[in-house]
Amino acid sequence: MIAACLRNTASSPLAHGAARIVPVLAAVGAVSCAGGPSAPDTAGAPPPVQVAPAYERRDILGADGEAVDALLGAPALVRREGAGEFRRYALRACSLIVILYPDENAGLVAKHVEATALHAGDGKPDLDACLAGG
């Protein structure tokens, strides 16, 4: 359609050809917009399902080593550091560092939790997002 308009303007002055092309382009644009995608109709749709986080800080902080292992599985690394213990757990989206320190009863409990990247060079993940993803 546009090509036909361009062929017909060969003998016309430039202004006359441009005047014929502009309405054609406008019509083509209107037709292409009319058939475009529209926003999905969400009226009457059930609300999105809220998924409970896999873990939360409160599940870990204050727990002893056995409880942390029961929750997260066996640690990928355990290292004694003075009176405390460093543990690293591999989760789906990150590594979780849990540091256990002696409590008032001389037992070791989780006092520090931190998320780290699974792969060198990746950015530091958000702790709550790491825990929520499991």
pLDDT truncated to tens, each residue of the chain (134 aa)? 444 444 444 444 544 554 555 554 455 454 444 555 555 665 676 776 666 778 999 999 999 999 999 999 999 999 999 999 999 999 988 999 999 999 988 899 999 999 999 888 999 999 999 999 98
**pLDDT computed for residue 35 by the predictor:** 54
**pLDDT computed for residue 5 by the predictor:** 44
- Token digits of residue 63: 């727990």
**pLDDT computed for residue 31 by the predictor:** 47
Residue 115 has phi, psi (to 5 degrees) of -95, 140
Taking the C-alpha atoms of residue 60 and residue 26, their distance in angstroms, rounded to an integer, is 63
Taking the C-alpha atoms of residue 39 and residue 7, their distance in angstroms, rounded to an integer, is 39
Taking the C-alpha atoms of residue 72 and residue 80, their distance in angstroms, rounded to an integer, is 19
**Beta-sheet strands, E only, within the chain:** 77-81, 84-90, 95-102, 108-116
